[in-house]
Amino acid sequence: MKNIRIGHLYGNLMNTYGDNGNLLMLQHYAKEAGYQVETTIVSLGDDFLAEDFDLLFFGGGQDYEQKIVSQDLPRIRDEIASFIENDGVMLTICGGFQLLGQYYINAAGDRLEGMNILPHYTERQIDSRFIGDIEIYDEENDQTYYGFENHNGVTHLGSELKPLGRVIIGNGNNGVDQTEGVHYKNTFGSYFHGPLLVRNEWLARHIVDLAIQNK
Ligand code: GLN
């Protein structure tokens, strides 16, 4: 059987709110398409070559784990940047999405450096979090996505980046501009836990298809 190789970035540290369910969905649709999935956790200090993977997944995490992870990121940053530029398929959720950008100011006010691969940045809310059901509309693909968000961070995409979708219900990136997540080339970011792909079958199939096309 043919293989899809998934690199699960910091999967032992960044795995909150059932985010790993995304991997089960990818496995399910890959199998349907005749592919076996091989998942490897890439964590602190591990050797990493992006070319060893067809798909990268970077899940959410709490501030404590996120701080430890952010300190290890410079090591693998350039590999991930060229993977993304070369149309590699990557899914990032919440804390992973934040660390794809420039920085994240955590709830305690510490600045965690992101990989600065995409130009978004994340600041904090004081004594408040965005928690609840969320619904967004992805105009490019004419799809509505449903999920659950739980984050302190408020993310600003800036003028160049496109969101994954426009908020219909909930807060999304910052509760103000109706953007949710990010979509750049074959890289996706989202605040949806729940997990994202379990509730949004179209997107799960789409991500698997992109990874297969790239092989
Ligand atoms: N610690 C980050 C925040 O609160 C990310 C949380 C998460 O990944 N769920 O914004």
CA neighbor of 66 nearest in space, from 130, 111, 13, 116: 13
Determine the residue type at 51.
Answer: E
Report the distance separating Cα 174 and Cα 157, nearest Å.
10
ipTM over 0.90: yes
Active site residue 94: yes
**DSSP calls for 113-151:** E---SS--EEE--SS--EEEEEEEEETTTTEEEEEEEEE
Give the CA distances from residue 69 to residues 17, 96, 134, in Å, rounded to whole numbers and listed in that order: 18, 10, 27
Q: Are 59 and 88 in contact (CB under 8 A)?
A: no
Active site residue 193: yes
Q: What is the pLDDT of residues 121-151, one digit of tens each?
A: 999 999 999 999 999 999 999 999 999 999 9
Q: Are 207 and 55 in contact (CB under 8 A)?
A: yes
Residues within a 6 A CB radius of ligand 1? 16, 60-63, 66, 94-95, 150-153
Q: Supply the pTM of this predicted model.
A: 0.97
